[in-house]
């Protein structure tokens, strides 16, 4: 049943219907509404049996989830930005131990300068920690991916991070369906752990491992990710059959088959890209798009197929790898190895700067004329950058850049 809901509220209700037995969280914008709503659902008894544990930091939040999962409980938490970095050590531990924790990441920029708005810097910082990372293209997929995430996590005994663009999705109010309890119960069986801390049958989890086993344990982590490449499409098809809509996939192509220029992106920019593609098509430009849902595991083969007959690829990414370009574009190039077509990196939407269809159309049109640079910063205020570079050149103590650029902006306004 469709209801007009804030995405965060709908995510909380979907998580509750997955029957987590332990929820622990430390609030951080823009994830706060999700864990607040879950706290309410536990207090009201709508989510029971479940222990909601308030903790004093993100490191504790994920540590509690780790312990709960190792003790055989279905465990959930959520975080964002600096919160993810705060818990970074535990992020690796949960994956290394193979514990099927599900965590929502309300994607947010990482400071400094401090910024509470959306980009993918947080997810990219921990992309190789061993978690599966799924990116929601819209609010409905953000809701449904959580149901898929618990099933996938527990089948393979691997943690799953559901990446939901902060504010753009988390704070959007729109018609959403929370999967019915009966459907979730059919899709998601009770949790049967492959390892459990049990006083009746004691084991040690997390032992020191030297040269004799470390490589093999790491190899198995990679093996699980490859298994997920096979399981994600199967589980997504099963979920689609139950819900009557397509949510979750390795990737979502859009008008891609005959496209000469293909835009590759992840997350909430997908809808705006699709509108821009429709406008470009109407103007006679053969453009298409591929939205990646799975970033880890990275669907090399599926992406190579989806890129079809494209003559050029534009990767629009909400993340900057300073000194290189972008993490997503680097991965896309890996899928295209052996094919001599240009792959452009477009850094866009950092720190919440809106990505508009006008900006996207301009990028595609420029690329179609073979005039787009390898690395392009969408809507970069070149004047502001040049003025700050001039200050650097003029004096040693040029001062803090963020404050200088802000002062500039206010002066010109």
Minimum Å gap between C-beta 121 and another protein is 15
- Report in angstroms how near the CB of residue 167 gets to another protein at its nearest: 6
Kindly tell me which of 175 and 206 has the beta carbon lying closer to another protein: 175
CB of 275 to another protein, least distance (A): 5
CA distances from 222 to 92, 249, 280, 296 (A): 14, 19, 40, 10
Which residues within the stretch 79-118 sit at the binding site for another protein (CB under 8 A)? 117-118
Q: Pick from 271, 308, 384, 388: which binds another protein (CB under 8 A)?
A: 271
Stretches 51-59, 263-271, 292-300, 338-346: which one binds another protein (CB under 8 A)? 263-271
| Of 269, 317, 263, residue with least CA distance to 286 | 263
- The binding track of 3-42 with respect to another protein, each residue x by CB under 8 A or -, is -x-x------------------------------------
In the bound state with another protein, the residue whose beta carbon lies nearer, of 114 and 390, is 114
Which of 31, 268, 319, 345: binder of another protein (CB under 8 A)? 268
Q: Is 292 in the site for another protein (CB under 8 A)?
A: no
> In this complex, which beta carbon is closest to another protein, that of residue 171 or of residue 391?
171
Q: Rounded to the nearest whole angstrom, what is the least distance from the CB of residue 403 to another protein in the complex?
A: 15
Cβ(291)–Cβ(304) below 8 Å: no
391 binding another protein? (CB under 8 A) = no
> Of 21 and 122, which CB lies nearer to another protein in the complex structure?
122
Candidate ranges 121-129, 264-272, 290-298, 379-387; the one touching another protein (CB under 8 A): 264-272
Are 352 and 117 within 8 A, CB to CB? yes
Cβ closest to another protein, residue 115 vs residue 133: 115
Q: Does 357 bind another protein (CB under 8 A)?
A: yes
Dihedral sign of CA atoms 27, 31, 37, 39 in order: negative
Q: How far apart are the first and last CA of the chain?
A: 47
Which of residues 162, 355, 368, 372 is near another protein by CB under 8 A?
Answer: 355
Binding range to another protein, per CB under 8 A, among 121-129, 201-209, 235-243, 350-358: 350-358
The residue written with tokens 């004093």 in the block is 56
Nearer to another protein, 21 or 138 (CB): 138
Instruction: Decide whether 299 or 352 has the Cβ nearer to another protein.
Output: 352
Residue 352 is a binding residue for another protein (CB under 8 A): yes
Give the number of residues in contact with another protein, rule: CB under 8 A.
26
Q: 134 to 153, contacts with another protein by CB under 8 A? A: 138
Closer Cβ to another protein, 79 or 270, answer by number: 270
SS (H, E, C) the chain: CEEEEEHHHHHHHHHHHCCCCEEEECCCCCCHHHHHHHHHHHHCCCCCCCEEEECCCHHHHHHHHHHHHHCCCCEEEEECHHHHHHCHHHHHHHHHCCCCCEEEEEECCCCCCCCCCCCCHHHHHCCCCCCEEEECCCHHHHHHHHHHHHHHHHHHCCCEEEEEECCCCCCCEEEEECCCHHHHHHHCCCCCCCCCCCCCCCCCCCCCCCCCCHHHHHHHHHHHHHHHHHHHHHHHHHHHHHHCCCCCCCEEEECCCCCCEEEEEECCHHHHHHHHHHHHHHCCCCEEEEEECEEECCCHHHHHHHCCCCCEEEEEECCCECCCECHHHHHHHHHCCCCCCCEEEEECCHHHCCCCHHHHHHHHHHHHCCCCCCEEECCCCHHHHHHHHHHHHHCCCCCCHHHHHHHHHHHHC
Report the site for another protein in 165-184 (rule: CB under 8 A).
167-168, 171-175
In the complex with another protein, which residue's Cβ is closer, 100 or 352? 352
Between 83 and 352, name the residue whose CB sits nearer to another protein: 352
By CB under 8 A, name the one of 311, 356, 366, 404 that touches another protein: 356
Binding to another protein by residue 275, rule CB under 8 A? yes
Shortest spacing between CB 192 and another protein, in angstroms: 38
C-alpha distances out from residue 410 to 78, 114, 391, 413, Å: 36, 19, 17, 5
- Can you give the binding site for another protein, defined by CB under 8 A? 2, 4, 6, 117-118, 138, 167-168, 171-175, 268-272, 274-275, 352-357
């Amino acid at each position: 049943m469709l209801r007009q809901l804030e995405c965060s509220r709908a995510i909380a209700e979907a998580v509750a219907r997955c029957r987590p037995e332990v929820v622990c969280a430390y609030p951080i914008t823009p994830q706060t509404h999700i864990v607040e709503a879950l706290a309410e659902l536990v207090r009201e008894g709508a989510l029971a049996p479940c222990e909601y544990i308030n903790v004093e930091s993100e490191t504790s939040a994920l540590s509690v989830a780790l312990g709960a999962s190792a003790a055989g409980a279905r465990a959930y938490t959520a975080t964002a930005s600096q919160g993810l970095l705060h818990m970074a050590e535990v992020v690796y531990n949960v994956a290394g131990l193979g514990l099927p924790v599900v965590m929502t990441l309300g994607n947010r920029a990482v400071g400094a300068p401090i910024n509470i708005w959306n980009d993918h810097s947080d997810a990219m910082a921990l992309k190789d920690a061993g978690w599966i990372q799924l990116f929601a293209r819209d609010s409905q997929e953000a809701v449904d991916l959580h149901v898929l995430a618990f099933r996938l996590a527990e089948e393979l005994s691997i943690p799953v991070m559901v990446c939901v663009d902060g504010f753009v999705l988390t704070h959007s109010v729109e018609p959403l369906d929370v999967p019915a309890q009966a459907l979730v119960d059919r899709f998601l069986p009770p949790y049967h752990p492959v390892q459990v801390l049990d006083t009746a049958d004691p084991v040690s989890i997390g032992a020191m491992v030297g040269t004799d086993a470390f490589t093999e344990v790491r190899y198995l982590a990679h093996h699980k990710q490859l298994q997920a490449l096979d399981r994600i499409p199967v589980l997504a098809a099963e979920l689609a059959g139950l819900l009557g809509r397509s949510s979750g996939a390795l990737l979502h192509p859009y008008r891609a088959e005959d496209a000469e220029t293909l835009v590759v992106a992840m997350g909430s920019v997908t809808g705006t890209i699709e509108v821009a593609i429709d406008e470009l098509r109407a103007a006679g430009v053969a453009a298409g798009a591929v939205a990646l849902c799975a970033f880890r595991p990275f669907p090399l083969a599926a992406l190579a197929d989806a890129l079809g007959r494209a003559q050029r690829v534009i990767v629009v990414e909400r993340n900057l790898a300073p000194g290189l370009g972008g993490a997503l574009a680097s991965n896309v190039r890996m899928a295209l190895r052996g094919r001599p077509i240009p792959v452009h990196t477009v850094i866009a939407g950092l720190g919440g700067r809106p990505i508009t269809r006008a900006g996207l159309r301009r990028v595609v049109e420029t690329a179609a004329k073979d005039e787009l640079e390898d690395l392009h910063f969408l809507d970069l205020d070149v004047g502001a950058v040049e003025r700050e570079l001039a200050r650097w050149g003029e004096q040693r103590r040029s001062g803090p850049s963020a404050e200088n650029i802000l002062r500039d902006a206010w002066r010109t306004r």
